[in-house]
Amino acid sequence: MIDPVAKFWGNIERALDQGGFRYLLEDLVTKFRENLNDSSMTAQSIDRHDTFSDIAAIAEKDGLEDFALALRFAKE
């Protein structure tokens, strides 16, 4: 199984060139959520449809630094 964060970074250049960045980011969140337990604070944040910035802050608290970094990249 491919790590959703690795897939995100692997496709980022093409997505930026083709204007598909938003789709790539949403796909990352969806795929990452599939791997989280329902009790995870990050999962709950995703389920609430929090902003990417808010999800990133919670993911960092959950120790999901790579995921948080990818979401923060989207903010910039």
Distance in Å from the first CA to the final CA of the chain: 29
- Residues 37-58, mean pLDDT to the nearest whole number: 96
pTM value?
0.77
In this prediction, residue 62 carries a pLDDT of 97
Mean pLDDT of 10-37: 82
pLDDT at 16: 65
Report pLDDT for 64.
Answer: 97
Mean pLDDT of the chain: 87
C-alpha–C-alpha distance, residues 59 and 71, integer Å: 9
| CA nearest neighbour of 28 among 2, 63, 62, 60 | 2
Q: Does 10 have pLDDT greater than 90? A: no
Q: What is the pLDDT of residue 8?
A: 78
Distance of alpha carbon 43 from its chain centroid, rounded? 11
- Residue 26 and residue 8: Cα distance in Å, rounded? 10
Q: Which helix (H) or strand (E) holds 39?
A: none
